[in-house]
Chains A and B, each alone.
Chain A
Amino acid sequence: MNRKLRVLVAKLGLDAHDRGAKVVARAYRDAGFEVIYTGIYQRPEAVAEAAIQEDVDVVAISSLAGAHLTLIPQLIHLLKDQGADDMLVLAGGVIPEEDISALLAEGVAGVFGPGSDLDEIIRFTREHAAAK
C-alpha cells in the first residue's frame, strides 16, 4: 500500500495574488504531498468539484482579498452537501485576527495568517489529516 496525502491548494473569487499559494504548494510538495493546484479566480463550486474528483485529504484555501468570510463557508457547505465533510479545510493568507473564530466555527480546521511557519503548516496538516 502506497498512501500519499493529497492536498488541493486553491484561490477563491476575485483574488489574483497567488504567490503565497504557490509557496505553500511547493512546501507541501517538498514534504511529500501530492498537490493539486487549480489557479486563480475559482468559484467555490469549482473548488468543491475539484476536491471531490481529485479525492483530496486536504483543501487549503489562500485568501488575500478579504472575501474569506463569504467564500470559505460557501465552499464548506458545498463539500458537506456532497458528503465530503471528512476533508480537512485550511485557510491562509491575509485573515484578520477577529475573523479566525468565525472561520473555525464554520468548520475550518486551521487558519494560518501572514508570517506563518511553513513547517508548522505541514506538521498541522499531517497531524490532522492522519486523524481523519
Chain B
Amino acid sequence: MDLTTLLQRFQQGDRRALARAITWVENGTPEAGELIRSTYPSTGRAHVVGITGPPGAGKSTLVDRLASRYRELGQSVAIVAVDPTSPFSGGAILGDRIRMQRTLNDPGVFMRSLASRGHLGGISIATGDVVGLLDAFGFDVILVETVGAGQSEVEIMELAHTTTVVLIPGMGDDIQAIKAGILEIGDLFAVNKADRDGADRSVMEIEMMLDLGHMGEAGINRWDGEAQANSGAARRLDRTGHHGTADLASGNPYTSSASARHAADRHGTANPGDISWRPPVLKTTAKDGQGVDALVDRMIEHLNFLKETGRWEQFKRHDAAAKLRELITLRAARTVMDRATAAGDLDRLTASVADRTVDPYTAAEEVLSRHLGT
C-alpha cells in the first residue's frame, strides 16, 4: 500500500489502512512523517483514558469490561495495550487479546498491541503517535493499557486525559511503598479483584493517602501560580495536587465536577481554576463486571470536569509544548552529533575523555560551541 492510497483509505474508515498506518508510525518508516502531518489536524477529539497498575492487577480484563460498557453507551472504542519487549532478544509476547474476548469481535472496537521496544516509561516511544492516529480515525474513546507498572512508569499521565490506577486488595504496606510512584498520577483509582479479602481496607488506605499525604492547599496555590508554565512539574500539580478546600468542604469523598462546582460557588470561588478533582476510589471485580459501570461514570465525569474547568484546553497546550520540546531536543541532539561525527570531533574528544586528558563537560562544551550554530 503506498502513502496516497493508505491516506485515502484511512479517511474512508478502512481498518486495514489504520492498522498499516500504525505499523509505519511504530517503525518510523519514511512515510510516517507525512502520515502524521496529514492526520494531525483531525486529532484532539477523543477521550484518552490510561489504565495502569502492577502486573496481575487485572488491567486487561478490566479494559475489556470498560470497552464493553462504553459500547453500551454508544461510543466507539480503540484499545492500545503495551507489553514489555525482552531485553535479551528484542522480541515480545503480546498477550492482552486473550483477556479481551468480550469486545474484540465488536466492529465498534479496534485493538492494537504494542511492544515497549526498550522504552521504560510504561508505554513505547510511538504510543503517543499511535493514539493520535486512532484519534484522527474517529474513535470516541481510546483506552491505553500500560505495561505492568510500579514506581516509575508514569508517562501515561502525559498521554492520557484521565489516568486510572488499578490496584488489588492485600497490598497493605505496599501501598505506602509505592505512594511516590504511580499512586501520584491517578485521576481515578480502582481496587480490582474486590471480591477478595481486604478490598475495603485497601480502599481506605488509598483514601487516607489521598487525604493526608498529599500537597493539599499548597499544591493548589502553587498550581495557580505556575499553571501557565509549560513544565512537567506544573502539569503534575495540575493533575494530582489539586484536591483542597472545595472537596473537603463538600464532605463528599467522591467529588464530582458538579459537587465541586457547587462547593466552590458556596465559597465564592467560582473561578474554574479553583475547582478541584479529588480522585475517587472505586471497587471493581473485572471478571464479573462488578463496579465497571460506576468506573465508566467516573471517567465520563472526569472528562466533563476537564472540559468545564478549562483544563481540556490547557491539556492541549501542555501536550503541544511537550511534543515540541521533545522533537526539538531530539533533532538538535541528532544534528549536533551528526556534525561532530562528520568533522571527526566526536572520535577525537571521545578518546580524550577516555584517557582522562579532557573531562566530559569540557568536551561537550567544545562540541556544542562548534556545531550547535548554523
- A contact set with B: CB distance below 8 Å: 1-4, 6, 25-26, 28-39, 45-46, 49-50, 52-55, 82-84
The 5 closest A-B pairs by CB, nearest first: A29-B91, A39-B98, A55-B19, A32-B90, A55-B23
Complex alpha-carbon distance, A82 and B18, angstroms: 13
Question: Which residue of chain B is the closest to A25 with respect to CB atoms?
Answer: B93
The verdict on B101 contacting chain A, using a C-beta distance below 8 Å, is: yes
What is the number of contacts between chain A and chain B, taking CB atoms within 8 Å?
Answer: 87
A84 close to B16 (CB less than 8 A): yes
B89 close to A30 (CB less than 8 A): yes
Q: Which of A4, A30, A84 has the most CB of B within 10 A?
A: A4
Question: Which residue of chain A is the closest to B98 with respect to CB atoms?
Answer: A39
Minimal beta-carbon separation of A60 from chain B (angstroms)? 13
Per-residue CB contact flags for chain B residues 85-100 toward chain A (1 = under 8 Å, else 0) read 1101111111101100
Question: Which residue of chain B is the closest to A30 with respect to CB atoms?
Answer: B89
- Which residues from chain B contact A53 at a C-beta distance below 8 Å? 15, 19, 110-112
- Which residues from chain A contact B101 at a C-beta distance below 8 Å? 39
B93 close to A37 (CB less than 8 A): yes
- Which residues from chain B contact A84 at a C-beta distance below 8 Å? 16
- Which residues from chain A contact B95 at a C-beta distance below 8 Å? 36-37, 39
- Which residues from chain A contact B115 at a C-beta distance below 8 Å? 4, 34
B27 close to A4 (CB less than 8 A): yes
Complex alpha-carbon distance, A45 and B101, angstroms: 13
- Which residues from chain B contact A29 at a C-beta distance below 8 Å? 86, 89, 91-93
B97 close to A39 (CB less than 8 A): yes
Question: Which residue of chain A is the closest to B9 with respect to CB atoms?
Answer: A83
A55 close to B20 (CB less than 8 A): yes
- Which residues from chain A contact B117 at a C-beta distance below 8 Å? 2, 4
- Which residues from chain A contact B110 at a C-beta distance below 8 Å? 53
B104 close to A50 (CB less than 8 A): yes
B97 close to A36 (CB less than 8 A): yes
Complex alpha-carbon distance, A30 and B89, angstroms: 5
Complex alpha-carbon distance, A107 and B223, angstroms: 61
B16 close to A83 (CB less than 8 A): yes
Question: Which residue of chain B is the closest to A6 with respect to CB atoms?
Answer: B23
Minimal beta-carbon separation of A6 from chain B (angstroms)? 8
- Interface pairs (7), CB distance under 8 Å: A1-B29, A2-B117, A29-B86, A32-B91, A34-B92, A35-B92, A55-B19
Q: Which of B15, B85, B97 has the most CB of A within 10 A?
A: B97
B97 close to A50 (CB less than 8 A): yes
8 extra A-B contacts, CB within 8 A, seeds A4-B91, A4-B115, A32-B90: A1-B27, A1-B29, A29-B93, A30-B88, A34-B113, A34-B115, A37-B95, A52-B15
Complex alpha-carbon distance, A45 and B105, angstroms: 8
- Which residues from chain A contact B105 at a C-beta distance below 8 Å? 45-46, 49
Minimal beta-carbon separation of B167 from chain A (angstroms)? 25
A36 close to B104 (CB less than 8 A): no
A32 close to B93 (CB less than 8 A): no
B91 close to A30 (CB less than 8 A): yes
Complex alpha-carbon distance, A29 and B91, angstroms: 4
A49 close to B91 (CB less than 8 A): no
Give residues of chain B (92-151) contacting chain A, Cβ–Cβ below 8 Å: 92-95, 97-98, 101, 104-105, 110-113, 115, 117
B104 close to A37 (CB less than 8 A): no
Question: Which residue of chain B is the closest to A28 with respect to CB atoms?
Answer: B91
Minimal beta-carbon separation of B143 from chain A (angstroms)? 14
CB-CB under 8 A for A4 and B90, given A39-B97, A55-B23, A82-B16: yes
A54 close to B89 (CB less than 8 A): no
- Which residues from chain A contact B154 at a C-beta distance below 8 Å? none
The verdict on B22 contacting chain A, using a C-beta distance below 8 Å, is: yes
Q: Which of B19, B22, B91 has the most CB of A within 10 A?
A: B91
CB-CB under 8 A for A38 and B27, given A29-B92, A30-B89, A55-B22: no
Minimal beta-carbon separation of B110 from chain A (angstroms)? 6
The verdict on B55 contacting chain A, using a C-beta distance below 8 Å, is: no
B86 close to A52 (CB less than 8 A): no
Complex alpha-carbon distance, A89 and B98, angstroms: 20
CB-CB under 8 A for A54 and B112, given A4-B90, A30-B91: yes
Per-residue CB contact flags for chain B residues 1-22 toward chain A (1 = under 8 Å, else 0) read 0000000000000011001101
